[in-house]
Each structure stands twice: as C-alpha cells, then as structure tokens.
Structure 1
Amino acid sequence: MRTRISSWLLAATVAVATVAVAPTPAHAAAYTPSSNPILFVHGWNSSATTWNTMIGRFQTDGWPSSRLRAFSYNTSQSNATTAQQVSQEIDRLLAGTGATKVDVVTHSMGGLSSRYYLKNLGGGSKVDRWVSLGGPNHGTSSANLCFSTACTEMRVGSTFLATLNSGDETPGVPAYGTWRSNCDGVINPVDSTVLAGAANVLSGCVAHNSLQNDATIYAQVRDFVNP
C-alpha cells in the first residue's frame, strides 16, 4: 500500500508542478462500474451544501448521484460523536449501492471524525481511499477563537488529537491522501494537514473554503480515488 501511495504521490507532484502547461484531462479517471461510492464529510460551521460543486463535477465525470452522498451534522459536538454518524452514513451508502467499500472525501474538520472512525470504529475494512482537504490533523491556532467541544479538539496539542495521532497516523489498508495550501488562511500551521504514510500534496494558492471547489484539486482527488 505504501508503494502504491508513493507512486501516486510522485505523479501528483509532477502534475502540480506542470499544471500551467499540461492540465489534467477533464475525463482522465471517469467513472467505471468498479468505482467506489463516495461519502463527503464537511468541516466546522458548514453543511452538506459545501460539496455541491465537487459532487456536480463527479456527476459530469460519470458517477451516478446514488453513489455520491454528503450529509450535515452538528459541528459543535465532539468529533467522536460525529464519527458515529460517519459510520451510519457509510453503512447506508454501502447498503444502498451494494458496494463493499467506499471512498471518503473530507474538508477541514471533517477529516478528524472520519479518521476517528477509521482508527476506532472499524472503518478500515469499509474504506478504500480517504482524502483530507485542509484538515487540521495536528491542530490549528484558529480553533483558539471558538469554544465548542469540536473547537477544543482542533487545538494544537489537544488530548483528542494526541490520541488520534498516536501510533500509526494512517492505520489499516485504506490509502490516505491530503491536500494543503500555503494560502489556506485557516489551518495554522499549514503543514498540520500532513500525515505520515499519506500521499501529501501541496496545492497552488487556494483559500481554505475554496479547496473543495478548485478544479485542479478536484481532478487530482478524482484520480486519487479512482486510479
């Protein structure tokens, strides 16, 4: 699995470096019957609608709407509680499509609940590929400005993150991919998103709330989940 990730990361790095002269073809990794359904998990103070643009692009590339699911949740609650909802949503998606595994694409704090699910709730056997767009995987100073349970968990050095990141940061058989930008503006430090054992991609200058809408990032994510 690590070899597969390393090969993909090399390709992604080259793509980022050359995007101005050789953009990714619009249908480089179009849907096939073997493509996994995808669950999208939004971040703090957001909702399922944040995925409308990306879901629309997946549909344009052939994914049936029945295999693309986003859901909303209470972003003030503990990420451990949200992880239970992630588990339920994945089970619904598997039951509704007949698939054996899903891919999970997350933005910001959505990466924490889904990682909790993978590590602590048996999710590793149900997820093939996992994506974090601007995730506070090692905390962000921006979380010092809000005071809900979820915000406390996102702070640098929190007990929640220390436990989540203990041992293997990318456990099990899923392939992990992260995307970060030096223009993020919300995840501080930017390299908080990086996970040991993942394909870690530094994108162009993209603001935090535009990561899930950027066309270049979409093409890279699509190719990552559907190699």
Structure 2
Amino acid sequence: MRLNLPLLALGTALTAALTTLIAVPGAGAATAYPVTYNVAAANGVMADPSAPPAGANDFSCQPSAAHPHPVVLVHGLGATMGENWATMSPLLADNGYCVFALTYGRNADNPYVGGVMKMEDSSAELATFVDRVLAATGADKVDLVGHSEGTVMPQYYLKFRGGAAKVDKYVAITPIYRGTTLLGIGALITAMETAFPQYAGPLSSGFDQDCGSCQEFLAGSPFLTNLYADGVYAVPGVTYTTIMTRYDELVTPYTSGRLSAPNATNIVVQDQCPIDLAEHVAVAFDPTVAQDTLNALDPAHPLPVPCRLVLPMVGAPAG
C-alpha cells in the first residue's frame, strides 16, 4: 500500500533518531549501496519516487552462478518502485543479485501512484517487464519479491499469462491471496449495495474509476473468484515463501496470506521476533523480513534471522 502517507511527515523529526544501517544481513557481500531499515530515512533519500530504487534496473547486470535468477520487485497499491523498495533493492544488490523493479498500473495523470489499474491489465505490464529482464540477462527464469498488491497481481501473471514457466521463487510480503475484509469495509460496501441496489452500479463504477484494483482485493470479489476457480493458490513449479505480520491493518485477517501446499513456506514475523511490531508498511523496511527474503532466495545458504525492535510505520529505531 502507499508508503508516502501523511505519517511520513514525522520523518523530519524522527530521522535524526533513526539509524541508517550500512551493514546488511548476509556475510561476505561487498557493500555498494547504503541500506536503512526505517521508512522515513529510506524514502527521505529519494529525489524522485518514480525512479528505480538504488541497485535496481542495471540492464547490463549478468547473474552470477551463485544467484542465477534476476530478482524482480513488485510494489504494492498506491506505491512506486522507488518508495516500496528503498530498503530491499540495495540490500539485494549488495548481496550479489541482479535486481529489477517496475512501477505498474499507473494512471497517466499521476506517475507517482502505482497499482491503481485493474490487476488483469497490470499483469500484462509485469509479463512484458519480465520478458525484458530475461532477454537482457540471458537467464531462464526470474525470482519475484512482492509486497501487498505485488503478492496477488503476479498470481494472475503466473496463472493466465504464462508466468509459471518463467518464475522460480516467489517471496510474498503481506500476501493477500484470499482477499481482505479491510476491517469490515468490504462487508459495509456489500450491505450498502444490498440495501440500496439502485446505487450499486454507480457506487462500484465510481470506485473503479479512481482505483480499478481496489475492489478486486476484497474477499469474495469476482477477480479472486476467477483467479482461484481451479482451487490452486500455490502454482506448481513455483516455490513460494509467504511472510505475514500479525499487526497487518490492511490485510485482514493477516492469515489471508497462508498457503497450504508442498511448494509453500509460511512465516509469521512475530513467531521469529516478538518485539517486531511492523504493520503493513514497515515490513518492507524490516531487518527480519529482509533476512527472511535473502534466505528464501538462497535456501542453500540461510543465515540467522535478526530480532530487533521494529515500530509501526517507522521501522527499526536507533541502537
């Protein structure tokens, strides 16, 4: 979901108290980019939020034998690639990955808000981008790392646009596989449409005009019903790692991201670190989630997952 929220105005006061961590999880990586684990500091260094995040979109990058698959980062609703991946992109680049990111689903009138078009259309953008990455790098497959909308839109790509043959690993942060109740908002919309059927059409079309993807997230939506009509949530041939937080305020219940399949591993952040209070936004800047992601992408060389205090909407405080 969108990262440059009004709460980020607190960043001016907080940044002085927040640490910018140069060391990254993972031994032996040559650090080329600074990595910070708080929202304000990470976003504060961006001159243009629509530009690629540090470490991403070097189309001359050639994957190594250690990391043969380029990593494609898929942002959440309302965000851009620069906003969403200001921590994860430089971290992955510093650990030897070829990293790529896109901003999809933008309204032509606003280049700084992504993910607002229908996910069927955004999945076509993802398909084109993945093909471009594969052609540039010579790799046979990519790994996906998605956050929020970036965990469910790619499912459409995998199932209906040939993506399953082009993706090896899929790390999903705050996944929305079964949709969200949005703390009851979905039920409220349904109740209003039932009580006032004469307004159901205008209400829905008005919503779609501003955000074509928003209603597609709701549990039981036609989009999700069609997406999982075959009963398959974890696409065969793709290795899934789902990373959830109990404090997710936008994916409700947070267990919407739990998969029951032999090719899926489920992680709840607080099972690893009880003092990690990250909610929907902060998980993209979270040191625990960062190491979980590195371990998921390179399961043959896992490293211990750090446990640090992480604050909602802030990230890791100083010290």
Q: Quick one: which amino acid aligns to residue 42 of structure 1?
A: H
1:45 aligns with 2:75: no
Residues 28/106 of structure 1: CA separation in 2 closer, same or farther (3 Å cut)? farther
Per the normalisation by structure 1, the TM-score is: 0.82
Contact 1:105/1:132 (CA < 8 Å) preserved in 2? yes
One of 170, 184, 187 as aligned partner of 1:130: 170
What do the CA deviations read for 1:70-126 (whole angstroms, capped 9, x no partner)?
A: 111222211111110110111011111111110000000111211111111111111
Which residue is 2:232 aligned to?
Answer: 168
Which residue is 2:268 aligned to?
Answer: 202
Give the Cα separation in 1 of the matches to 2:232 and 2:28.
32
One of 88, 99, 107 as aligned partner of 1:54: 88
1:118 aligns with 2:152: no
SS at match of 1:89: helix
One of 108, 125, 149 as aligned partner of 2:212: 149
Give the Cα separation in 2 of the matches to 1:158 and 1:94.
33
Give the Cα separation in 2 of the matches to 1:28 and 1:120.
39
One of 222, 239, 243 as aligned partner of 1:159: 222
SS at match of 1:115: helix
One of 250, 272, 276 as aligned partner of 1:186: 250
Give the Cα separation in 2 of the matches to 1:25 and 1:113.
28
Contact 1:184/1:190 (CA < 8 Å) preserved in 2? yes
Which residue is 2:19 aligned to?
Answer: none
How is 1:87-98 mapped onto 2 (pairs within 5 angstroms)? Answer: 87-98=127-138
Give the Cα separation in 2 of the matches to 1:117 and 1:46.
19
Give the Cα separation in 2 of the matches to 1:178 and 1:109.
13
One of 270, 286, 289 as aligned partner of 1:214: 286
Give the Cα separation in 1 of the matches to 2:96 and 2:281.
25
- Name whichever of 186-195 and 140-149 sits farther off: 140-149
Give the Cα separation in 2 of the matches to 1:163 and 1:196.
19
Residues 129/29 of structure 1: CA separation in 2 closer, same or farther (3 Å cut)? farther
Which residue is 1:140 aligned to?
Answer: 180
What do the CA deviations read for 1:40-69 (whole angstroms, capped 9, x no partner)?
A: 000111110111211111122222xxx211
Which residue is 1:20 aligned to?
Answer: none
Give the Cα separation in 1 of the matches to 2:91 and 2:76.
20
Number of aligned pairs?
Answer: 201
| Shift of residue 34, structure 1, vs aligned partner | 4.0
Per the normalisation by structure 2, the TM-score is: 0.59
Q: Quick one: which amino acid aligns to residue 250 of structure 2?
A: V
Residues 29/141 of structure 1: CA separation in 2 closer, same or farther (3 Å cut)? farther
Quick check: which one's helix share is greater? 1
Residues 221/165 of structure 1: CA separation in 2 closer, same or farther (3 Å cut)? same
Give the Cα separation in 2 of the matches to 1:177 and 1:93.
22
